[in-house]
Amino acid sequence: MLSVVIQAGGQSSRMGEDKALKPFLGKPLIQRVIDRLLPIAHEMIVTTNRVEDYAFLKESNPASALDLNLRLVPDLKPGRGALGGLYTALASASMPYVAVAACDMPFASASFMQGALQLMIREGMDVVLAKTEEGYEPFHAVYRRETCLPAIESAIQADQWKVISWFPAVKVRQLSPGEFKSFDPQGLCFWNLNTPEEFVEAERKAEQVTHHT
């Protein structure tokens, strides 16, 4: 029922290296994100234009008893930025609902995605996402594939670039701070890492969270 898509398409310019592959507490950051979301996935996909660099994920994440083969998918709309990446995520998925997460979110939350999915089904929404002080969080959100995919495709054809440019065409459920905090009490799931300093800080925080749970 739920495809989980991890997006590994960014440039990592501020990091100076591919942040998805940078070790985080001893394993590549993207592997941590996969591990955190795997329990809710009926399908796991990583979108990347450097499939060879991520091939190790197929070996380290063999098919489970659910026959959950991890797939690596390159950009279907090259050069279309983040919106093209979101199109690729939804177009590659085979399940009716798609949870999308960026590869640089070490606290990606399965409980947030599950809570958002339940709201989506109960209220008949097409997109369920949070809006924080930074704005909308489309890369830690849940989408209904059937309605969102054509809306995104239309936006791309109309030469729109903003990730949320197509939102008026679908039913969007914006989570209140109280709602998304109930799914993610630590308030860390939207934290994406852009610098070596943030990496160090996040590792420290992850060790604290582990220590207190």
Q: For the chain, what is the mean pLDDT?
A: 91
Q: Label residue 15 by pLDDT band (50, 70, 90).
A: low
Kindly state the tokens that stand for 129: 């996402």
pLDDT confidence tier of residue 213, bands split at 50, 70 and 90: very low
* Confidence at residue 30, expressed as pLDDT on a 0 to 100 scale: 95
Using pLDDT thresholds of 50, 70 and 90, give the confidence band for residue 66.
Answer: very low
pTM across the whole model: 0.93
Per-residue pLDDT, 62: 56
Cα(152)–Cα(113) distance, rounded to whole angstroms?
Answer: 21
Confidence of residue 17 (pLDDT cuts 50, 70, 90): confident
pLDDT of 163 over the 90 cut: yes
What is the Cα–Cα distance from 131 to 103, expressed in whole angstroms?
19
Q: What is the pLDDT of residue 44?
A: 95
Question: Could you report the per-residue pLDDT of 123-157, keeping only the tens digit for each?
Answer: 999 999 999 988 999 999 999 999 999 999 999 99
pLDDT (tens digit, 9 = 90+) per residue, 178-208? Answer: 999 999 998 999 999 999 999 999 999 999 8
User: Residue 18: its pLDDT value, please?
Assistant: 85
Give residue-wise pLDDT tens across range 89-110. Answer: 999 999 999 999 999 999 999 9
Residue 104's closest CA among 209, 50, 207, 24?
Answer: 24
Share of the chain above pLDDT 90, in %: 80
Work out the burial of residue 169: count CB atoms within 10 Å of its CB; fewer than 13 is exposed, 13-18 middle, 19 or more buried: middle
Instruction: With beta carbons less than 8 A apart as the criterion, state whether 127 and 168 touch.
Output: no
Please say whether the beta carbons of 22 and 29 come within 8 A.
yes
Which CATH number applies to 2-211: 3.40.50.300, 3.40.50.720, 3.90.550.10, 1.10.1500.10? 3.90.550.10
Task: Say which amino acid occupies 202.
Answer: A
